[in-house]
Amino acid sequence: MRRFLDPQAVSRLGPLEIVARSVVEGSISGLHKSPFHGFSVEFTEYREYSPGDDLRTFDWKAYARTDRTYVKLFEEETNLKAHVLLDASRSMEYRSGGAQLSKLDCARYLAASLAYLLVRQRDSVGLVVLGGGIQRWIPPRGGAGHLHDLLGALEEVRTADATGLAPSLHRLADGIKTRGLVILLSDLLDDPAAVRGALRHFRHNRHEVVVLHVLDPAELRFPFTGLCNFRDMETGQRVELQPQVFREEYLAAMEGFTSGYRRFASESAMDYEVVDTAVPFDRWLAGYLHRRMARD
């Protein structure tokens, strides 16, 4: 078993599934509604028979009642193509004393568990590693062998100094041709307006978008005391200050940061969740999937 797929965590996720809420494109029978019509699972409507229609869809009962020829249209259920986008910028390495894991490791565990769940339900999943551009792009596929490759790729992730999150997301939105599910795991420490514009690009292309905002408890609660020296993990810039002087201002800024994304996601029909790395990742993921299934 690869490092970031924890067997105990997987067992605690039990029968939970990731079901797409919007219409997706795919090719095999699965959990998700497809825009392509065929002879399959769920009846949608009638239309008049035309020469060449599949006679298996001919409604003989309607013909007997009305003396008119109708065929039934069905909406098949199909597999999902999902892309897990992992932010590997240097800031993701941060871990305070109150965290279970660094932000990057928490995101890698979540990515591995999500990939496992998607493959288990016969969906296709790919991985994109971001940081100073697109570091790695593994297209979606299914199967145990592909899952093993994704888990290996998660172990090989190395962080980059620059973020460049928004341009990379725009490039991906242009490059992913099949609509499906896009899951972003990031601390979102980039220009919020630019990132929101890039996420909107995915929605414009009719992808379903889930944003998992991975933050350390120290970032969320700013518990520092005494004279502290803070260093920007991406630029190396340092500043020395008394944190208690700025705590209220910082917490208000952080609340504005997260609530701005939450409001944007609600308006754009996206999922947005803050992942607190003080919480065990499997407990957090189980809670999120329960909430998601309850909303469906």
Question: Do 122 and 56 fall into the same domain?
Answer: no
Look at residue 132 in the predicted model and tell me its pLDDT.
87
Burial 88-124 (b: 16+ CB within 10 A, else e): bbbbbebbbeebbbbbbbbbbbbbbbbbbbbbbbbbb
Question: Do 195 and 48 fall into the same domain?
Answer: no
Number of domains in the chain: 2
Question: Do 45 and 104 fall into the same domain?
Answer: no
Look at residue 281 in the predicted model and tell me its pLDDT.
96
Q: Which residues contact 249 (CB under 8 A, 6 or more apart)?
A: none
Look at residue 65 in the predicted model and tell me its pLDDT.
82
Question: What's the distance, Cα to Cα, between the start and end of the chain in Å?
Answer: 32
- Of 23, 50, 78, which residue is a domain's last? 78
Question: Do 228 and 150 fall into the same domain?
Answer: yes
DSSP string, 117-178: HHHHTT-EEEEEEESSSEEEEEEEE-SHHHHHHHHHHHHT---BS---HHHHHHHHHHH--S
Task: Give the Cα separation of 252 and 249 in Å (integer).
Answer: 5
pTM of the model: 0.81
Give residue-wise pLDDT tens across range 42-63: 455 566 767 766 677 777 787 7
- Of 78, 94, 115, which residue is a domain's last? 78
Question: Do 110 and 124 fall into the same domain?
Answer: yes
- CATH code of the domain in which 256 resides: 3.40.50.410
Question: Do 226 and 128 fall into the same domain?
Answer: yes
The answer as to whether 244 is a domain residue is yes
Give residue-wise pLDDT tens across range 4-18: 998 888 888 888 888
Average pLDDT, 10 consecutive residues per value, the chain (296 residues): 85 84 55 50 60 71 79 60 96 94 98 95 94 94 93 95 88 94 96 97 96 97 90 82 91 97 97 97 95 81
Question: Do 97 and 131 fall into the same domain?
Answer: yes
Question: Do 70 and 53 fall into the same domain?
Answer: yes
Residue range(s) defining the domain that contains residue 43:
32-78
HSE-CB of 129 using CA atoms within 13 angstroms: 21
Question: Do 202 and 138 fall into the same domain?
Answer: yes
Task: Give the Cα separation of 72 and 69 in Å (integer).
Answer: 10
Question: Do 36 and 85 fall into the same domain?
Answer: no
Question: Do 241 and 112 fall into the same domain?
Answer: yes
Question: Do 231 and 288 fall into the same domain?
Answer: yes
Look at residue 204 in the predicted model and tell me its pLDDT.
96
